[in-house]
Structure 1
Amino acid sequence: MNWMDCMSPATRRSALSVLLVLGAASVGAVPAVPASWTDSSTGRRIVRVDDSPGVYALYFNYNPFTPQGDLMIYLTREGIRVADTRTWQTRLVLKASVDRLLFAGPKSRSAYYTTRDAAVEEGGPSTVWSVDLDTGKTRRVADLPGGRVMAINADETLLAGVWETSPPPPEIARQGRRDPVTGSPAYAGVDADGKPLTFAQAKGRWMAARLAARVPMEMYSVSTATGERKSIHRATDWLNHLKFSPTDPTLLMFCHEGPWHEVDRIWTIRTDGSQLTKVHTRTMAGEIAGHEFWGRDGKTIWYDLQTPRGGVTWLTGRNLATGEQWRYEVARDQASYHFMQSPDGQMFSGDGGNAGKWISLLRPVLREKPVPGLITPGRLESVRVADLAKHDYTLEPNQHFTPDGKWLVYRANVEGRPVIYAAELAPTAAVAPSR
């Protein structure tokens, strides 16, 4: 006899109804296992993390992971979600209308984001919030007069951002706006014959016009504890791409934005406005340097260098403390929109381009023994991870190593729509390096 046999028929029917409801709720609460397969070109396991309409993953040098490495944040039209980096199952943390998802906290299990009134244009006043990724509890951090927050420091005490203290010309402002969910810009135009410009041509024309406008700007810090805002630096240079050192909470990297062959792009500054320092000086007509990012040591800045543009390409590193420099030659099919260093500092990743559509691991190999005071030359060996043959690079993949170094996460449209994928770095089949 079981326990239900002791009940009256009416009570038994009631109990069955409760069990059915609880069972349905339980089934609904179990996250779906994400689809996965083996990439036939690389032998690596690929997981489709999320293909929700408008799904958005963070820019390549914005941290999406909790300090413990177990959760990754991303954005959908519904709100902020997290993916479990062990299972790639996802859940909604915050159902809200989010202006921008910024980054995960380097110390706390939280995500930072901004909201703004629907009537306020992009770049106008906004509010910075944080949300606890375990409880969903939110905290108002600061109200901002305009611009956008771009960085958080190593001890999570300061945010940093920029804003245009005077507005740019309306047409420049319009084309510079990005969709807050998809990240897609509005670059467009026609040539002298009235023919539509390509995406790259329109972007180049817009960047030149924005640089020439010499719009007044301010770089500022915001206390995460009190919301107090302080000015760091004012200029009519186009200030962009702020990023704190991952180990030094007062050292901030930023760029002078614009057509790369017209600007000395990469700079550092202290949060009190002191020690404004140019990292790389151009020495060749047409030379470009950009897409800079911090090495894992928090002392080395890595960047894409071309001497000149379209010529020899190097993945270049400069240690700010010792002055050491490395230049790894990048082969044509290794050229990438973005590079990133692995958590152990031993490898790099590349997200490819039209000459080589791959998510790849790149192993640095020295050509010469290091000599004090001289640049150390080298090359890169490729290990292909994911085939992006069908990808349209107007959507940047923005790949990220998971903190344990076992996966590369990226966004691609190889299935005809933006999707977040994770590629496992331990191969499921023996695959030799391609170079």
Structure 2
Amino acid sequence: MFTSECEGIHMPAVIGKLHAGELVPMKDAESGAHIVRLTAGKHVCHHIYPTMRATTGDGKFLLYFREVNGRRQLHAMNLDTGISLQLTAGKDVDDYHAAFSSDDRHVYYLQNNVLWRLDVRDLLRTHVYNPEPGWMMREFSFSDDERYLVSLETISSADIDTLSGLRDWSTFALGSLLAPRCRLVYVDIESGNRRVLVDEDCWLGRPSIRPGDGNTVMYCHEGPYNMIDTRMWLVQSDGSDKRPCRNQDKDTVLTWEFWFPDGRQLGFLCWNVRDDKPEELHAINPDTMEERILCTCPPFVHCSCSPDGRYIVGDTAGSTKPVHLISAEDAASAADDYIYLCDLHTGEQRRICHHGSSFLPKYGTVLDSEPHPVFARDGRSIIYVSDCGGIPSIYQVDLARFLWEIEAREDESYAYGLASTFGGKL
């Protein structure tokens, strides 16, 4: 991937620039998990939004954003060597929404209100889609075969321009109060045909096409839990059957909805702000709307599902407050700021590591210091962000080794076989 020659390509010189590896191995003091800090903490770095394809299928390359000369630019990192290749240049690169294609030969990203497809072999890009005049593209999702695209768009206005210039959690409530006109557009990439599925005066977010079913789209009403009516929604690709996934009252927080990899369930976090019951992970069958509780869990802010659907990884913020209400005092006194792993087969929960991140909007956007743990697509590692060293950096946990060493400890086989090569220090 990083051996392509860029000579003769009419692109800015910085595209194709290689950044030396900055890998620093470490070990979590409590769990013993083996971790690598992937970026050096000299520049703000974070991985892409965790609902996107952040790694190649073999888990060897990672998409991430790195601040270069005051602008966030998309890079791809070889996780074995730490060497990174710069993929974008210039201004107005959306620094959270990008994705590998399903075959790992292309990278999709947003720049200047256009969705581009970049060939990772020659670094040439092609135009995929841009919204109609007067609309801003904010998020996107593809069907499994990448023929169909859902574009989440917001109408351009002075109010929205003002909102987009804010860099703290005031945007969360203001987005709900402004109720900007938003829409979901369903696009056939092959034919170019497009259809508006939803058009509302409401802050919409997190569009996602159902795995295995390109005709069902999930999206949400964004904003603080007590300022929205119903968060999670489904709609068909022809615009029909728009329906809420479940009702909610003003004391119930529903958040971080996601598709399980096989598309059979829609998962989400659920808790009530007025009782002391633990947070729960719920799932809804999108065909029947039957809801069930999968497990109780630590007070996750975000979570992600493993490629095989067995594990959930989540981050806690050291506070049971919703993340947009966390103060600097809360962050300083955080007692439970960890990455956890939940096994949906056994019900077990384990602390993987201490992330120590502040969750505070100190670096440019509200998302920069949020861990957002996500599985590599091969399921063997977990990627997260932390500003525990001063500036947001990216970390990788060796999950395969973590699980193997746990099994070895529990059956006392750590003194024998391959485990013995670690010197009894598992």
**Is the shorter-chain TM-score for this pair beyond 0.5, marking a shared fold?**
yes
Residue 108 (structure 1) shift: 4.7
Q: Which stretch shows the higher mean deviation, 318-327 or 33-42?
A: 318-327
Relative distance call for 1:310 and 1:340 in structure 2 (3 A) is farther
After the TM superposition, which residues 24-173 of structure 1 pair with which residues of structure 2 at under 5 Å, given as runs? 32=21, 34-51=23-40, 53-78=43-68, 79-85=73-79, 87=80, 89-97=82-90, 99-100=93-94, 101-116=97-112, 126-144=113-131, 145=133, 146-165=136-155, 167=157, 170=159, 173=161
Q: Which stretch shows the higher mean deviation, 356-365 or 424-433?
A: 424-433
Specify the SS of the correspondent of 2:251.
coil
**Long gaps (5+) in structure 1:** 1-27, 117-125, 178-184, 188-198, 367-379
Whether the 8 Å CA contact 1:141–1:227 is kept in 2: the answer is no
Residue 271 (structure 1) shift: 1.9
- In the alignment, which residue of structure 1 is the partner of 2:421? none
Residue 94 (structure 1) shift: 1.9
User: Could you tell me which of 175, 186, 192 is aligned with 2:167?
Assistant: 186
- In the alignment, which residue of structure 2 is the partner of 1:301? 266
After the TM superposition, which residues 275-424 of structure 1 pair with which residues of structure 2 at under 5 Å, given as runs? 275-282=241-248, 284-308=249-273, 311-312=276-277, 313-330=279-296, 334-355=298-319, 356-364=336-344, 380-388=347-355, 390-394=356-360, 395-424=369-398
Relative distance call for 1:161 and 1:265 in structure 2 (3 A) is same
After the TM superposition, which residues 227-306 of structure 1 pair with which residues of structure 2 at under 5 Å, given as runs? 227-261=192-226, 262-282=228-248, 284-306=249-271
Whether the 8 Å CA contact 2:310–2:345 is kept in 1: the answer is no
CA deviations over 1:69-111 (Å, ceiling 9, x no partner): 43221122343322234x1523215241261142222345211
Whether the 8 Å CA contact 1:60–1:338 is kept in 2: the answer is no
CA-based RMSD of the aligned residues comes to: 2.8
**Long gaps (5+) in structure 2:** 1-16, 320-335, 361-368, 411-426
CA deviations over 1:102-145 (Å, ceiling 9, x no partner): 222234521111222xxxxxxxxx22111122332211212333
Whether the 8 Å CA contact 1:407–1:424 is kept in 2: the answer is yes
Residue 218 (structure 1) shift: 1.9
Specify the SS of the correspondent of 1:211.
helix
Residue 310 (structure 1) shift: 6.2
Specify the SS of the correspondent of 1:147.
strand
